[in-house]
Amino acid sequence: MSKKHQIVVIGGGTGGIMTASRLLREGKNLDIAVIEPADTHYYQPAWTLVGANTYSFEKTARPMSEVMPSGVKWYKEFVTSFQPEDNSITLKNGDVIAYDYLVVSPGLRMAPELVEGLTEAMDNGVVCSNYTDARHTWDVLKNFKGGTALFTQPTTPIKCGGAPQKIMYLAEDHFRKSGVRDNTKVLFATAGSVIFGVKPIAKTLMSVIDRKDINVRFFHQLVGVDGKNQIAWYKLAKEPDGAVVTDDKHTVQDLDKTIQYNYKDVKVTIDGDRYGIHFDMLHLAPPQASPKFVASSPLANADGWLDVDHFTLKHNKYDNIWGLGDVAALPTAKTGAAIRKQVPVVIDQLLARTQDAQLKGKKYNGYSSCPLVTGYGKMVLAEFDYDKNFTPDPELKKMLIFDSSKEHWRLWILKKYILPYLYWNKMLKGKDV
C-alpha cells in the first residue's frame, strides 16, 4: 500500500512530536504524518532522579496517544528503509510512504554489544544503568553495602554526556545517608581528558569531586565488562607518562597525574594493555549508536549518523530532508534542550517551502544544555554552543539564579519540578519555552 503526505516525520520522541505540533500551530492546511511504533512516550531526563529514588518512574511515562498531536496521521510502525531518490520510505509491514518533505528524528539505540560482555551483564546483579532501567539502579544503590562503586561511560556519543556523573554524585550522597560511605571508594572512569568540556562547569565539578573525595581516572576507554567476576576492562587513550596504578614498584608519587586524579587504591588486574577495575557495583552509560535503519541508509555519514548541515539541519545531499535530535551528526551534546533550539530552525525552512512564508534564516548554533545534579537538592546548569562557550539563559535571573555554573538549590527545583512541567505542557505542544 502506498500513501503520500506533504510532510512525514519519523519519530515520536521529543524532536518528532515538537516538530509536528509546531507545524500544526504555525502552518495551514498541512498534511502531516508521524511514524512511531512505540506505545509509550518517556520523559527521559528524569530517569537520573528515578535512579536515586527522588522521582517516580511512572511520572516519566505517558501513552504515546496522549502526546501525539491531533491532526496528524500516526503510523504505528517501524521504518525499514529510505528511498530518497523516490521521496519515499518503506515500513516494516511493507507499506510505502511518500513525502514532499521528510524530518528524521528517531533518536538513537542502546548498543551494549559494542563492549565485550556487556550484553550479558547489563541490568543484572550489581551492574546498572539509568539509560536502560533506572529502577534497577535504585535497587543496586539501596542494597550496596560498601566497597568499590564504579561509574563509567563508553567512547561512543551518548545522550547527555553529563548523565553518568549525575547519578554518581547522588549515589555518593545516598552512601553517606545510608552509613556505607566510610567503607566505600567512589571511582569515575572516563575516556576524556577533562571532567566536562565547558571550563566554568568543569571548575565547579572538580570542586564537587574534591568535596566528595572521588577518584577520577581519565583516558580510560571501556572495552569489556565481566559481570560474573565484577571487573570492568579498560584500554588507555594515551601513553602513560608514569604509572597508571600503584603496585610493589610504584607509589602514588609515580602516578601519571593526567590519568589519575585523587587516586584511590582499588583492586586492578592488568592483562597486557588492559586494566581491569574490580567493582562491587557498576553504573554505566552503555555504548549508543544510530538506529540500524538509518546507519545502513543513504542518509548516513561514514559513522552511521544522519548527515546534516550543522547550522541548517538540512541533509547534506537531499534538499527536502532534515534531521533532528540524537540521530543527527552534530558536534554537540545529545539532549532534549538541544532539540528545543533545533526544531524552530527546521520549522522556519519547512514553512518557507510549504506556505510561501518568508524564510527567516534561523541557524542552529550548537546550543545544548546539561542539568548536572551534584547531590540531593543541588544542581549546576551547563548551557553551551558548538564552541563550548558557556551561554546561560538570561531567564534564569528571574529565578534569582545569577551564576548557573555554581551549585544552587533553585536549579534543583528547575530540574525536578519546572522542566518536566514545561516539557509536557509547552514543548510537546509546540509552544515556545
Q: Which residues are part of the catalytic machinery?
A: 160, 370
For residue 104, what is its C-alpha cell? 528524521
Three cell numbers, residue 88? 519515499
Cβ atoms of 192 and 84 closer than 8 Å: no
Contact 185, 266 (CB under 8 A): yes
C-alpha–C-alpha distance, residues 319 and 243, integer Å: 53
Selection from 48, 65, 300 nearest residue 171 by Cα: 48
| DSSP 3-state of 298 | coil
Rounded Cα distance between 101 and 353, Å, is 9
Alpha-helical (H) ranges within 27-179 are: 47-51, 64-67, 118-121, 134-143, 163-178
For residue 293, the one-letter residue type is F
Handedness of CA 280, 285, 289, 293 (dihedral sign): positive
C-alpha 33/C-alpha 100 separation (Å) is 11
- Residue type present at position 181: R
**How many residues in total does the chain contain?**
433
DSSP 370: E
Q: Rounded distance, CA 254 to CA 367, Å?
A: 41
Q: Residue 264 and residue 415: Cα distance in Å, rounded?
A: 32
Phi, psi of 145 (to 5 degrees): -110, 5
Q: Compute CA distances 183 → 146, 180, 374, whole Å.
A: 5, 6, 21
